[in-house]
Amino acid sequence: MSNKNYKIAEDIIFSAAIFKLSKGERDIKLSNKEAELLEMLCDEAGSVIARGKLQETLWPNQDNTDTNLNRQILSLRRKLESIGLLDAIDTIPRVGYIFCAPVEISGEEEETVATDNIVPTPANMPQPRRQYSRRRYDRYFSPKRIMLFALIMVSITSLVILIYHYTNANTLRTINLSHVSLYMTSDTEQTLKLKIENLKPLAQRIPHYEDEHVSILIGKEAISYFSIDNKNKLLSENIFLLRSGHPVMEELQCVVATMALQGKNVSHNYYNNPHTVVRYHSSCLAPENWVEITRKSKMIVTMNREIVVATVIATDHKGQTLFNLDSVGDVERDDDDIAVEIKNTIVNFIDQKALINNSMVATLVAALTPPKQKALFIQLPGGIYLSSYMGGVLSWPSRENLKVIQRNDP
C-alpha cells in the first residue's frame, strides 16, 4: 500500500495509506481490501482493469475469488455513493471494471519540510488532472450530443422541405405582350412537358384589334381564351378542350386560328349579360358544335359564413338545354383569392342522349359534379380569375358582382 493521496471528483480525498475517504468534515473508513481495490482503480482510471488482474492482486494464489471481488466492488460503490459519487465504478460485462470519476494524484504524505531551496522534480510535483468519461461510446452518445444531433437533423430536414416546396411550388408563369397575356402554371408545364417561353412566338401571331386585350391560359385539360374591350363593350370567353393525342403546340395553333375568325361562334358578346357565360368547343375553327354554360350565382352573408348559391345551365348552339344543376358552397377569402368548398350539388336535368353522344357534355358534367370538391379562384390582373376547374381555366365574375377591366402590362 503506497502513501499516495488521490483527489477524486475535486472534493473527495482518498488516503491510501490510512484507508480513508474524506469529503469536507466527513470521513469514511475503508477496509484493507477496499483501499487496495480503490487504489488500483484510481491508478488505472479511465482504463479497463480485468477481473483476473484484480483477483490476483487482492487474493493471490486463491481460487473462487469471484464472490469476494463482487462483494468488495459492491461495498466500495455504496461508500462512494454515500458521499455523493455516483456511477464511479462501471462494470464492463465479462471483462472487468473501469473507474470513471476524474482523478488527481497529489503525491505521498510526508512531514512538512522547508522547500524554499529545493527545485521541484517531476516525482513530487502534482500530477495533471485526468478527466475520464464513462464508456467510450458515451462520448459519442451522451444526451447533449444526441440532442445536438437531433436539432441539427431537424434543421436540415426543415431546410430540405422548405427548399423542396419552394422549388416545386405550383407558381403562375406569365408572358405579357402589348395585347396578349399568356398564363401557365408550373404544375401544368411539368405535366405537359412544355415551357411557356416556347409558346411566345404563337402568342405574337394573335391578331391585334384596337382596344382589345386577350388573356390565354393553358391548363392541363383545356385552353381558355378571354377577350375584352371595355371601350366598345365587347366581352367573350371560350374554352377549347384539349384532345387526346394532339400536341399542345398544335392545340394552341388551333386556338390562334379560331380567334382570327372573329365569327359569332367564338366572339359572341357577353358584355351586357348579367351572368357569367362561357362557350366550350373541342374542334378547330369553332363550328356550331359548342356548349354554352351560363352561371347564375349569388353571395349570401350570414353572421359567420359567406355562402355562394349557383345555378349552372348548359345549352347547345340551338338553345336546347343539355343539363341544369344547382350547387351550394362555403366561401373563404384570402385577400383577392377565393376558395369555394362545394357542400352539395343537385342535378336538376341532364339530356341523356347528349350525355352519351357528346363528349363535351360528359366532360363538363364530370367536372362540375364531384362531391365535396374545393374550387380555387386566383385573381389575375384586371379582375379575371384562374379557376382550378378542369386543371385550370379562366373565369370571370358576373357583371353584377364586379366590373372586369382587362389590363396587359408588357
Cell of 145: 450530443
Judged against a pLDDT cut of 90, whether residue 218 lies above it is answered with: yes
Instruction: Output the average pLDDT for the chain.
Output: 81
Compute CA distances 82 → 77, 213, 236, 396, whole Å: 9, 90, 92, 83
Are 278 and 233 within one domain? yes
Burial 59-83 (b: 16+ CB within 10 A, else e): eeeeeebeeebeebbeebbebbeeb
CATH number of the domain residue 120 falls in:
1.10.10.10
Residues 184 and 311 in one domain: yes
Domain boundary among 110, 134, 158: 134
Tell me: do 291 and 344 sit in the same domain.
yes
345 and 213 in a single domain? The answer is: yes
The count of other CB atoms within 10 Å of the CB of residue 366 is 10
| 407 within a domain of the structure (yes/no) | no
Q: Are residues 265 and 368 in the same domain?
A: yes
Indicate whether 323 belongs to any domain. Answer: yes
- Mean pLDDT over 322-342 rounds to 89
Q: Give phi and psi for 241, each to the nearest 5.
A: -80, 125
pLDDT band at 361 (very low <50, low <70, confident <90, very high): very high
Residue 187 and residue 334 in one domain: yes
Environment class of 333 (CB within 10 Å of its CB; exposed 0-12, middle 13-18, buried 19+): exposed
Residue 367: which of 340, 344, 388, 398 has the closest Cα? Answer: 388
Nearest by Cα to 222 from 196, 194, 255:
255
169-177 contacts at long range (C-beta below 8 A, 24 or more positions apart): 172/378, 172/386, 175/199, 175/200, 175/203, 176/408, 176/409, 176/410, 177/203, 177/204, 177/408, 177/410
In a domain, 307, yes or no: yes
Pairing of strands 276-281, 234-241: parallel
Segment 259-276 shows an average pLDDT of 74
Res 126 pLDDT > 60 = no
**For residues 43-57, average pLDDT:** 86
Residues 329 and 355 in one domain: yes
pLDDT reading at 57 higher than 50? yes
| C-alpha cell at position 77 | 460503490
Assess whether pLDDT exceeds 90 at residue 326: yes
* Local confidence band at 260 (pLDDT 50, 70, 90 cut-offs): confident
Among the listed residues 228, 205, 203, the one whose alpha carbon sits nearest the alpha carbon of residue 216 = 203
pLDDT one-digit tens code per residue, 157-216: 888 887 776 666 778 888 888 888 999 998 898 888 889 999 888 888 887 777 788 899
Predicted confidence at residue 45, as pLDDT, reads 85
User: For residue range 238-247, what is the model confidence (pLDDT) as tens digits?
Assistant: 999 998 889 9
Is 402 part of a structural domain of the chain? no
- Whether 182 and 302 map to the same domain: the answer is yes
pLDDT in tens, 285-307: 767 788 999 999 888 888 888 89
Number of structural domains (the chain) is: 3
pTM: 0.58
Instruction: For residue 410, tell me if it sits in a domain.
Output: no
- Is residue 129's pLDDT more than 60? no
CB 25 within 8 A of CB 122: no
Q: Is residue 403 part of a domain?
A: no
Model confidence at 402, pLDDT cuts 50, 70, 90, reads: very low
Regarding whether 218 and 316 lie in a shared domain, the answer is yes
- Tell me: do 254 and 348 sit in the same domain: yes
Q: Is the predicted pLDDT of residue 110 greater than 70, yes or no?
A: no
Is residue 127 domain-shared with residue 143, that is, in the same domain? no
Say whether both 302 and 254 belong to one domain: yes
| Host domain of residue 158 | 137-168
For residue 295, the model assigns a pLDDT of 92
Show the cell assigned to 211: 382596344
- pLDDT, tens digit, 9 for 90 and up, residues 270-285: 878 888 899 998 888 7
The answer to whether position 194 is within a domain reads: yes
Q: Domain for residue 409, yes or no?
A: no
